[in-house]
Amino acid sequence: MAENGESGGPPRPSRGSSAAQGPASAPAEPKIIKVTVKTPKEKEEFAVPENSSVQQFKEAISKRFKSQTDQLVLIFAGKILKDQDTLIQHGIHDGLTVHLVIKSQNRPQGQSTQPSNAAGTNTTSASTPRSNSTPISTNSNPFGLGSLGGLAGLSSLGLSSTNFSELQNQMQQQLLSSPEMMIQIMENPFVQSMLSNPDLMRQLIMANPQMQQLIQRNPEISHLLNNPDIMRQTLEIARNPAMMQEMMRNQDLALSNLESIPGGYNALRRMYTDIQEPMLNAAQEQFGGNPFASVGSSSSSGEGTQPSRTENRDPLPNPWAPPPATQSSATTSTTTSSGSGSGSSSSNATGNTVAAANYVASIFSTPGMQSLLQQITENPQLIQNMLSAPYMRSMMQSLSQNPDLAAQMMLNSPVFTANPQLQEQMRPQLPAFLQQMQNPDTLSAMSNPRAMQALMQIQQGLQTLATEAPGLIPSFTPGVGVGVLGTAIGPVGPVTPIGPIGPIVPFTPIGPIGPIGPTGPAAGPPGSTGSGAPPGPTVSSSAPSETTSPTSESGPNQQFIQQMVQALAGANPPQLPSPEVRFQQQLEQLNAMGFLNREANLQALIATGGDINAAIERLLGSQPS
Amino acid sequence: MEPPNLYPVKLYVYDLSKGLARRLSPIMLGKQLEGIWHTSIVVHKDEFFFGSGGISSCPPGGTLLGPPDSVVDVGSTEVTEEIFLEYLSSLGESLFRGEAYNLFEHNCNTFSNEVAQFLTGRKIPSYITDLPSEVLSTPFGQALRPFLDSIQIQPPGGSTVGRPNGQS
């Protein structure tokens, strides 16, 4: 009776949720298996019936991952699971991991994958990785010199100022041909770091169109450039001026030996015209646009030194021996009659580029320098232009920020090399200098031509003072005068007309401008001690007054200058005795000579600072009789 | 229904030491290592690898390392390029960010292994994935571990894999 229920039997517990099921070889019974679903970001475990379809699986997943089923892409063993498949079909058993990719929202196709769609998307999406990979080319420069273009561009940008490019060119030529400037530049740590990177150097050199032309004509040069060993050696040589000089000396010796070989001279000359001239031209023209032109030329000369260095190791060529193997050097004229001399002479000739360049440059420097000096001094506008160049300003700024560098530069300038005393004096004053340079008042005053003229007048006056009244300041020599003036006036900054005197001296490292400061005679303005104006006499009048006041004689130069400055800027100092008293003696002399106009005499004496002869001339000039 | 396309998946194996490891490892480590392996997965005609800059891709053999020292066939996959790139983007944002790079624990080979499993279900050869533990089991490796930990390898020549925008 009640066996009805029995036939049904208790429900089999196969549907119970049990973790570990039996062996997977129970196809008929839907066991629950645990499948891990792994996305790139997370991992979740799902318990699903073994025989479920992928569609069902996805539905379970979409709930957990909060996405829509058509966004889910299930991948197992490299296969994409389609909705109508079953898990078993793909061999997804308990404990295995299925990968999941959730497609982003803006995808037009909703289905997981269909072959036709896949093919379609493949072609279109194939282009995307291509475009992803095309930027590789720009990134793939292994040395990361992509920024070099910027650097080289910057250098040319900073130099090509449209205002006075010619002047700049000249200036640079003069600067860079002067060996001392070379040394200074070489010692600049920035330049050194540039030099020590052969790839950088190569890029810089190659970037120069002149060099490119040269390279086209002489392919061996490109070999030299591309050989990292040679480049490195070249740069070493360029960096070390002593080594370079040594090199050149050896070359000159060898060269002079070669000259004596019959036919050797002709060969040499041919070498020069074929190789050295274009190289020289290339090097010279580089100066205008390339701040590292010195490096460029020295590098190209270094290339020349390279073959000659190897040549030097061999014994000098034996003219009676069969011709030695021709060295690979940058020579085009191999057709020389004197075969024996040509091989070695060619390499030596190119090696002599350095010597030739220097010779020529040094010849240039003298007349060029002079004319440049003249130009500058006669035209204060030039100075103004120069100062306003961004290049200059940045240089000033960097100088002031790097006091050691500035010290080095200034102290190595030719002006100071002659006078070590001055160097010593200058050294402690340098920081004050640089401070002043930063002062915008200074800059504006410096660019004011009239201010410059006034400064020059004062300097002239000081010099005349020094010559005429040397007893005034114990250590006041003409050369030192300006330096002293500069240093002394520095601290008295607020006095506007005098303040800017200081920065004149920092110009000295900039070769052509240098002599403006100390060499008054080069300057045009006819400033004499008395500028003809009433404040003028106070200069000279204060000078003799200083002789009377003991403080100035015994005190340091600074005090003297300070007092002078005060005298100039402030009211007339009361301690000045009247000119009449001072020039009493001279007045009497003039009277005796017949110049009866006391006022005129006095004025003349004041103007000439007590010089009777000059006063007489003035009086005669003013009096028609 | 046409059968789905199958795309071959290859593993490019590079020896970063260019043979030095094979020669010097007995001396330095006390055990023989055949190389310092860097791997990448090549699929859909692109090479994908993981470095200190994240997941990168390039044309096959397009890194500075040049052509691979050996190529291992991992299998084939149905995963389309689109899905694969989607997957890579997610990976790159989660598990394989550039800063997650660690020479021993989470390096290029880790990535290659992960991707290979995703694409084909198979792992990459064990001699590659066992390399860090091999090195660390030597006293030399242990001693150098702090230094080596800080090494970040990023072969130049690849571009970072990003999320495709509006890809059709």
The H-or-E segment that residue B75 falls in is strand B70-77
Shortest Cα distance, chain B CAs vs residue A64, angstroms: 18
Check whether B134 has a pLDDT greater than 50.
Answer: yes
Amino acid identity at B136: L
Contact predicate B158/A136, CB 8 Å: yes
Contact predicate A132/B55, CB 8 Å: no
Q: Do B80 and A140 touch (CB under 8 A)?
A: no
d(CA A445, CA A531): 20
d(CA A80, CA A70): 13
Mean pLDDT calculated for residue range A168-176: 57
Considering only residues B24 and A387, tell me which one the structure prediction assigns the higher pLDDT: B24
Q: Regarding beta strands B70-77 and B7-15, do their DSSP bridges make them parallel or antiparallel, or are they unpaired? A: antiparallel
Which residues, 6 or more positions from A5, have their beta carbon under 8 angstroms from its beta carbon? none
Check whether A489 has a pLDDT greater than 50.
Answer: no
- Backbone phi, psi, residue A596, to 5°: -90, -15
Mean pLDDT calculated for residue range B45-67: 88
Q: Regarding beta strands A97-102 and A32-38, do their DSSP bridges make them parallel or antiparallel, or are they unpaired? A: parallel
Q: Does B95 touch chain A (CB under 8 A)?
A: yes
Which of A32-36, A174-178, A327-331 comes out lowest in average pLDDT? A327-331
* Residue that the structure tokens 């404990």 belong to: A95
pLDDT band at A322 (very low <50, low <70, confident <90, very high): low
CA distances from A17 to A36, A47, A56, A62, A146 (A): 17, 9, 18, 21, 63
d(CA A374, CA A368): 10
Q: Is B48 helix (H, G, I), strand (E, B) or coil?
A: strand
Mean pLDDT calculated for residue range A42-63: 85
Give the model's pLDDT for residue A375.
56
- Backbone phi, psi, residue A443, to 5°: -65, -45
Which residues, 6 or more positions from A149, have their beta carbon under 8 angstroms from its beta carbon? none
Nearest to B158 among A77, A97, A136 (CB): A136
pLDDT tens profile A382-394: 555 555 555 555 5
Mean pLDDT calculated for residue range A1-12: 43
Check whether A161 has a pLDDT greater than 50.
Answer: no
Which of A68-77, A85-94, A135-144, A253-262 comes out lowest in average pLDDT? A135-144
Mean pLDDT calculated for residue range B34-52: 90
pLDDT tens profile A236-290: 766 666 777 777 888 788 777 776 776 666 766 776 666 556 666 655 554 443 4
Mean pLDDT calculated for residue range A93-107: 78
Q: Does B158 touch chain A (CB under 8 A)?
A: yes
Give the model's pLDDT for residue A141.
37
- Say how many residues make up chain B: 168
Amino acid identity at B72: V
Q: Across A3-17, A108-122, A142-156, B143-157, which has the greatest mean pLDDT?
A: B143-157
Contact predicate A290/A156, CB 8 Å: yes
CA distances from A397 to A377, A393, A562 (A): 24, 6, 28
The rounded percent of chain B whose pLDDT value lies above 90 is 18
Shortest Cα distance, chain A CAs vs residue B26, angstroms: 32
Shortest Cα distance, chain A CAs vs residue B59, angstroms: 7
Considering only residues B32 and A447, tell me which one the structure prediction assigns the higher pLDDT: B32
Q: Do A75 and B118 touch (CB under 8 A)?
A: yes
Q: Does A65 touch chain B (CB under 8 A)?
A: no
Q: Across A118-132, A418-432, A560-574, B56-70, which has the greatest mean pLDDT?
A: B56-70
Q: Across A188-192, A210-214, A570-574, A593-597, which has the greatest mean pLDDT?
A: A593-597
- List the single residue in B with minimal CA-CA distance to A37: B118
Give the model's pLDDT for residue A101.
85
Considering only residues B54 and A159, tell me which one the structure prediction assigns the higher pLDDT: B54
**Burial class of residue A216 in the structure, from the number of CB atoms within 10 Å of its CB (0-12 exposed, 13-18 middle, 19+ buried):** exposed
Give the model's pLDDT for residue B70.
92
Which of A357-371, A385-399, B54-68 comes out lowest in average pLDDT? A357-371
Mean pLDDT calculated for residue range A332-336: 36
Check whether A445 has a pLDDT greater than 60.
Answer: no
A261: tokens are 């070989």
Give the model's pLDDT for residue B71.
92
Give the model's pLDDT for residue A494.
37
Give the model's pLDDT for residue A264.
62
Contact predicate A461/A539, CB 8 Å: yes
- Backbone phi, psi, residue B154, to 5°: -145, 95
- List the single residue in A with minimal CA-CA distance to B75: A78
Instruction: Count Cβ neighbours within 10 Å for each residue of A254-289 and write b for 16 or more, e otherwise.
Output: bbeebeebebbeebbebbbebbbebbbebbbbbbbb
Considering only residues A442 and A582, tell me which one the structure prediction assigns the higher pLDDT: A582
Give the model's pLDDT for residue B73.
92
State yes or no: ipTM above 0.95: no
pLDDT band at B112 (very low <50, low <70, confident <90, very high): very high
d(CA A433, CA A228): 43
* Residue that the structure tokens 């006036």 belong to: A489
Q: Do A80 and B83 touch (CB under 8 A)?
A: yes
Q: Is B13 helix (H, G, I), strand (E, B) or coil?
A: strand
Beta bridge partners of A37: A44, A98
Give the model's pLDDT for residue A238.
64
Mean pLDDT calculated for residue range A15-28: 44
pLDDT band at B92 (very low <50, low <70, confident <90, very high): confident
Which of A20-34, A127-141, A306-320, A382-396 comes out lowest in average pLDDT? A127-141
Give the model's pLDDT for residue B165.
44
The rounded percent of chain A whose pLDDT value lies above 70 is 25
Contact predicate B8/B26, CB 8 Å: no
pLDDT band at A41 (very low <50, low <70, confident <90, very high): confident
A524 CB neighbour count, 10 Å cutoff:
12
Give the model's pLDDT for residue B155.
85
Give the model's pLDDT for residue B14.
92
CB contact residues (below 8 A), chain A span 79-108, against chain B:
79-80, 97, 99, 101-104, 106, 108
Give the model's pLDDT for residue A251.
78
d(CA B81, CA B6): 11
The H-or-E segment that residue A36 falls in is strand A32-38
- For the sheet containing B54-58, what is the strand order? B70-77, B7-15, B37-43, B46-51, B54-58, B159-160
Which of A44-48, A168-172, A429-433, A511-515 comes out lowest in average pLDDT? A511-515
Give the model's pLDDT for residue A514.
35
Check whether A593 has a pLDDT greater than 60.
Answer: yes
Amino acid identity at A98: V
Mean pLDDT calculated for residue range A605-619: 85
The rounded percent of chain B whose pLDDT value lies above 70 is 94
Q: Do A78 and B9 touch (CB under 8 A)?
A: yes
Give the model's pLDDT for residue A437.
55
- Backbone phi, psi, residue A400, to 5°: -70, -30
- List the single residue in B with minimal CA-CA distance to A123: B81
Provide the 8-state DSSP code for A618.
Answer: H
Mean pLDDT calculated for residue range A170-185: 59
pLDDT band at A134 (very low <50, low <70, confident <90, very high): very low
Instruction: List helix spans (H) across A260-402.
Output: 264-271, 277-289, 293-313, 339-351, 353-378, 380-388, 390-401
Contacts of B45 in chain A (CB under 8 A): 126, 129
Check whether B160 has a pLDDT greater than 60.
Answer: yes
pLDDT band at A110 (very low <50, low <70, confident <90, very high): very low
d(CA A388, CA A369): 22
Task: Give the residue from A588, A617, A591 showing the smallest Cα distance to A604.
Answer: A617
Q: Do B95 and A40 touch (CB under 8 A)?
A: yes
Check whether A314 has a pLDDT greater than 60.
Answer: no
Q: What is the CA radius of gyration of chain A?
A: 44
pLDDT band at A597 (very low <50, low <70, confident <90, very high): confident
Contact predicate A158/A391, CB 8 Å: yes
The rounded percent of chain A whose pLDDT value lies above 90 is 0
Check whether A87 has a pLDDT greater than 80.
Answer: yes
pLDDT band at A306 (very low <50, low <70, confident <90, very high): very low
A234 CB neighbour count, 10 Å cutoff:
27
pLDDT band at B39 (very low <50, low <70, confident <90, very high): very high
Give the model's pLDDT for residue B41.
92
Give the model's pLDDT for residue B11.
92
CA terminus-to-terminus distance, chain B: 23
Shortest Cα distance, chain A CAs vs residue B115, angstroms: 10
List the domains of chain B with CATH numbers.
7-160 (3.90.1720.30)
Mean pLDDT calculated for residue range A381-406: 55
CB contact residues (below 8 A), chain B span 100-129, against chain A:
117-122
Contact predicate A452/A446, CB 8 Å: yes
Give the model's pLDDT for residue A143.
36
Which residues, 6 or more positions from A488, have their beta carbon under 8 angstroms from its beta carbon? A557, A558, A560, A561, A562
CA distances from A251 to A244, A255, A308, A312 (A): 10, 6, 7, 8
Q: Across A367-371, B85-89, B155-159, which has the greatest mean pLDDT?
A: B85-89
How does the average pLDDT of chain A come out, rounded?
57
Which of A108-112, A614-618, B3-7, B58-62 comes out lowest in average pLDDT? A108-112
Catalytic residue positions of B, numbered = 38, 108
Mean pLDDT calculated for residue range B66-93: 88
Task: Give the residue from A588, A620, A581, A585 showing the smallest Cα distance to A604.
Answer: A620
How does the average pLDDT of chain B come out, rounded?
85
Side-chain half-sphere of A334: how many Cα atoms within 13 Å? 9
Mutation choice for A interface testing from B81, B85, B91 by most A CBs within 10 A: B81
